[in-house]
Structure 1
Amino acid sequence: MSDSRAPRRLTSRRRLALFAAGAAAASLTLSACGDGASGGSAQTRFVQGKNGVDTVKPGDRQPAPALSGETTTGKKLDVADYKGKVVIVNVWGSWCGPCIAEAPNFAKVASEVKDKGVQFVGINTRDAEKSQAVQFEEEHKVPYPSLYDPTGKLMLRFPKGSLNPQSIPSTIAIDRQGRIAARSIGPLAEDDLRKMVDPLIAEK
């Protein structure tokens, strides 16, 4: 009797292990540091760019979600206050290697386009303490504020079927009307970041 039951118990354990592995993989979709897979569908209506930047035509853009809260330095910030400007939202963590690699590119471009109606905003996530994020910002001379989002709640506010952040780092471009216009998953080189920002600056 015991021998005949063994295979069934093993099968159940295997199923449980597979289920747990699948759940773990799903939970890492938003927390994985590095490149994520971006796929399109009939609902998303975005164009996958060769430079890794996915874009949406103005008529197909969805409103960006409410992004507000406390910054890494303890100030209140509401991205809606920047409506009328192009807003570049960068999701990052101080522990993330690709975030460290792209930080100088973001600091440089943000400073250069500030007077062209562009506001950069960070979303710091998965850092247990604000001090970790502040140290990163100081070290890399980040010239713009970042919302402190240790549990990733703000990332989950992006609507289903939109160009939503799917990994860390991710970058979202919001047009002057407050709509999601472009996304990049993974670290951005300086030239690719400019290719994301410049067309939105040119829009009237």
Structure 2
Amino acid sequence: MPLLSAAVLATVLALTGCAGGTEIQTGGEEDRFISGDGSATVFEAGDRVPVPEVGGTTFEGDELALADYEGRILVLNVWASWCGPCRAEQPVLDEVFAEYGGLGVDFLGVNIKDNETAALAYTENKGVEYPSLYDQPGEIPQAFRETVPPRAIPSTLVISPEGEIAARVIGPTTYGQLTGLLDPLVVEYGFGDPQERPRVSEQESAEPEDTEDADDADASDAPRTEADG
């Protein structure tokens, strides 16, 4: 078995230790990615570091920079259409995005190492309503390498209105985890009471009943014919 150089070994150990997950192989040796276990880290106000000055172009051709979101809480999510854990967490991101938009929270995706056509089809098929930057080379994750391993996918950063990293998740996040990271920031910056936010799950569970009631009402109001008896 060939010996690894010290530099390569250090890199492998660092990625494995930070992500604590398994490899996702998408092609050649250079295309190996690590799926973390979804562990979260919260950075207290005095320990938060500023985000790098990065940005890019969305699938729609708009230029966006992280600085554009100052004054709002930003959830920055790194994903790819071929990434199974990314697909699994998408409903969570969509639900939290819908519930927290009125509480000072914005979402921005970063699509890396992907085919643009496949990535765009993914967002359209999933009905993703927030924008994503198309970053095929993965330059934005590289800019965050001091906080998140660049090859950890998916990964999520919660950025404060002051442009500082308040929390990170390496691996797929969950509804309870992500809302638990956002709620303290929403309160800290006075954006409202998270407990009073509209709940997507409650709205969806009410829809079938409302539809059925409406159908019954339509049927009862319809004129009767001789065939109806």
Shorter-chain TM band:
0.7 to 0.9
State the AA in 2 paired with 1:130.
Answer: E
Q: Give 5+ residue unaligned stretches, structure 1.
A: 1-12, 37-50
Deviations 1:158-200 (A, max 9, x none): 263xx33550000000001110010000001111111111111
Contact 1:33 1:98 in 2 (8 A): no
Higher relative contact order (CA 8 A, sep 6+): 1
Q: Give the equivalent residue in structure 1 for 2:184.
A: 199
1:50-199 superposed matches below 5 A: 52-127=39-114, 129-158=115-144, 160=146, 163-166=147-150, 167-199=152-184
Alignment TM-score, normalising by the size of structure 1:
0.76
Q: Aligned in 2, Cα 1:159/1:97: closer, same or farther, shift over 3 Å?
A: closer
Closer, same or farther in 2 for the Cα pair 1:58/1:27, shift >3 Å?
closer
Q: 2:148 touches 2:170 (CA, 8 Å); kept in 1?
A: no
The residue type paired with residue 164 of structure 1 is V
Q: Deviations over 1:66-118 (max 9, x none)?
A: 22111122221112111000000000000000000000110111011111110
Q: Note the C-alpha offset of 1:25.
A: 4.3
SS at match of 1:74: coil
CA distance in 2, matches of 1:23, 1:151: 23
Deviates more, 1:85-94 or 1:142-151: 142-151
Q: Tell me how far apart the structure 2 counterparts of residues 14 and 24 of structure 1 sit (CA, whole Å).
A: 17
Aligned to 2:36: 35
Distance in 2, matches of 1:28 and 1:195, equals: 26
Question: What residue identity is the alignment partner of 1:14?
Answer: P
> Greater CA radius of gyration, 1 or 2?
2
Which runs of no fewer than 5 residues in structure 2 stay unpaired? 20-31, 190-229
What RMSD, in angstroms, separates the aligned Cα atoms of the two structures? 2.5
Pick the structure with more helix per residue. 2
How many correspondences in the alignment? 173
Tell me which amino acid in the other structure corresponds to 2:153: I
Match of 2:218? none
Counterparts in 2 of 1:113 and 1:120: CA distance versus 1, 3 Å: same
Post-superposition shift, 1:22?
A: 4.2
